[in-house]
Amino acid sequence: MMCNANSFKSLMAGSALLLLVAPAVQAAEQLPDAPAIDARAFILMDYASGKVLTEGNADEKLDPASLTKIMTSYVVGQALKANKIKLTDMVTIGRDAWATGNPALRGSSVMFLKPGEQVSVENLNKGVIIQSGNDASIAIADYVAGSQDSFVSLMNGYAQKIGLTNTTFKTVHGLDAPGQYSTARDMALLTKAMIHDVPEEYAVHKEKEFTFNNIRQPNRNRLLWSSNLNVDGVKTGTTAGAGYNLVSSATQGDMRLIAVVLGTKSDRVRFNESEKLLTWGFRFYETVTPIKPDATFISQRVWFGDKNEVNLGAGEAGSVTIPKGQLKNLKASYTLTQPQLTAPLTKGQVVGTIDFKLNDKTIEQRPLIVMEAVEEGGFFSRMMDFVLMKFHEWFGSWFS
C-alpha cells in the first residue's frame, strides 16, 4: 500500500511537518561538479545518512597499508566495550613485538617497545592509533586474541559483520602481505562503524601526539592541525606498494563527512586531496534528520493485536543528505509491504519503505519499522478483528 506524501494526516508535529506542507517545487540549484581528485581511488560519504557524495574507483581492491589499523582499533574498541580487556591491564611485551628482533618491523613505524617490559592497554592502544606502531599492533593483538592469527580472524569476522564485501585482512598492522586488500568504500564503511559502535575508541584518533619512554611522536594525520576543517580522525597508511593513503573525518555543525583517498603519489597530495573533498562536501551539502530516531512517522491500524494502532518510524535511518537550501522541497511517502499489519509485531521489524523525494525525484529510501512491539490480543478481540477485517475487505473504509 502506497501513501502520497500529502496524505499524511497523522504525522507528529515537528518530526515530519516539512513533508506535509512542502511548498510548490522550485527549480533545483545547480551544483558544481565534484573536484578532480589525484588518487587511484577515493570516496566522500556522509556519516549520518551513508550517502556517497562523490567517488572514483571506490570498489577497486587496493593495499590498505596502515589503514588496516582502523580495524585493529575497532577490534580493540569492541573488546574494551565488552569488558574483555581494560585500559589499565598491563601487557608483557613479547619478542615478536620487538622491532629490533623482528625483521618484518625494521624501518617501519614503531612505538619502540622492548621485550619483557610491561605496558598498559591504554598506552598500546595510543601507540597503534597515534604513532601507527606496528609493534604496538602486534602486542595488543597477542593480548586480545592470544596470537596475531587469531586477532586477524576477529578482524575479518567484524569485516563481514559490518558489510565490508571487498576486504580481506592478513596482518594486524598493514605491512605488505599477499592477499591483503580493501577498497575506498569499505574503508569509509569501517570508519562509519567505528564512530557509531565504539565512539570512545574513535575519540583517541583526534589526539595530536603521544609520548612513550620519553619518545614523543606526533599523529601522522596532519589534517588534525587544519585551520579550515574540524578534523577529528582517522588514519594514514603508507607502503611502497600502496602509495599514500588517508582516511579522514570532520564535522561542521550537525554534519559529519568521511573522506578516503587511496594510492596518492605523496604525503602532501593525500592531505590536499582529502581537504578538497571535505571542503566541497561541507560547502554544498547538508545533513537533515526530518524523522528523529524516536519519532513516529505514521500510525497504522494493526489487526489481532493487544492494541489497535502501532507507531511506525525510521529508527536511526531518518537522516538524509541534500543540497544546501533544498530542505523546503523535501517530501516523503511510504509503502507497506503488506496491505494490512497483523500482530504479533516486534520492535524494529521492517514493514515497509519510506521514500524521500526532492523536487519529485527519489533521492533516498529507508526501511519503515515498528517503533514498539505489538503482542497478539486475546481470543475474543482477535475474533472481533477477524469480523471487522472481513467487513473492511468487503465494504472498504466504512468499517475501517
Active-site positions? 66, 69, 132
SS3 247: strand
Contacts of 35 (CB under 8 A, 6+ apart): 276, 277, 280
DSSP assignment, residue 287?
E
Q: Are 400 and 393 in contact (CB under 8 A)?
A: no
Classify strands 285-288 and 298-303 as parallel, antiparallel or unpaired: unpaired
* Spatial distance between the Cα atoms of 293 and 345, rounded to a whole number of angstroms: 19
CA distance 14 to 20: 10
CA-wise closest residue to 175 among 260, 67, 33: 67
Is there a binding annotation on residue 235?
yes
Question: What is the SS3 assignment for 51?
Answer: coil
* C-beta of residue 40 within 8 angstroms of C-beta of residue 62: yes
Residue 341: strand pairing partners:
302
Q: Judging by DSSP bridges, how do beta strands 298-303 and 341-342 pair with one another? A: parallel
Cβ–Cβ < 8 Å for 55, 46: no
Binding-site positions read: 235
Q: Residue ranges for the binding site for substrate?
A: 235
